[in-house]
Amino acid sequence: MSRHDPKSWMWDEALELLERAERMQRQFFRLAQSTGQRPIWEPPADIFETSRHLWMMIALPGMVAAQVQVAIEAGVLRVSGDRTLPPELRAATIHRLEIPYGHYERRIELPPGRYEFDHRDLVNGVLILSLRKV
């Protein structure tokens, strides 16, 4: 198939997009290396840096801000907690379960420097953290 043939080019592009989407789905909520007895999962994160702040967006669907623990330990940001099924669903028949439940923990090594928490919010299932550079 030639890249100059519009039909084959579009088909190649469509297949590549599907493969990329499948890869993203597989890595979106991945299991982390557990140091204890119970398995943990890692929520995905985006990190941005400006001249004064580090901004982090961590996907935590269905979580309430009070249930999320956030700490900086030896230059590593740690976000952890437990995502549980609502009580009314615990006896339900599961037909599909793609969003993980249970203990989660995400450790993100921070760039060199000192940081302090400036802003923390949980909006639409995304934890938004701002760390001010000190």
The CA distances from residue 79 to 37, 49, 66, 70, 111, in Å, are: 19, 18, 12, 5, 17
Q: Give the pLDDT confidence of 84-107 residue by residue, as tens digits.
A: 888 998 889 988 888 888 899 999
Flag whether the pTM goes above 0.75. Answer: no
Residue 28 — φ and ψ, nearest 5°? -55, -55
CA distance linking residue 69 with residue 80, whole number of Å: 5
Domain 43-133 has CATH 2.60.40.790: yes
CA distance linking residue 134 with residue 132, whole number of Å: 6
Give the angle 61-92-25 at the CA atoms, nearest 5°.
Answer: 35
Q: Give the pLDDT confidence of 25-73 residue by residue, as tens digits.
A: 555 555 555 556 666 889 999 999 999 999 999 999 989 999 999 999 9
Sorted by where each begins, the domain ranges of the chain are 1-32, 43-133
What's the pLDDT at 8?
A: 76
What's the pLDDT at 1?
A: 47
What's the pLDDT at 11?
A: 80
Q: Give the pLDDT confidence of 102-123 residue by residue, as tens digits.
A: 899 999 999 999 999 999 999 9
Q: Considering only residues 77 and 30, tell me which one the structure prediction assigns the higher pLDDT.
A: 77
What's the pLDDT at 85?
A: 87
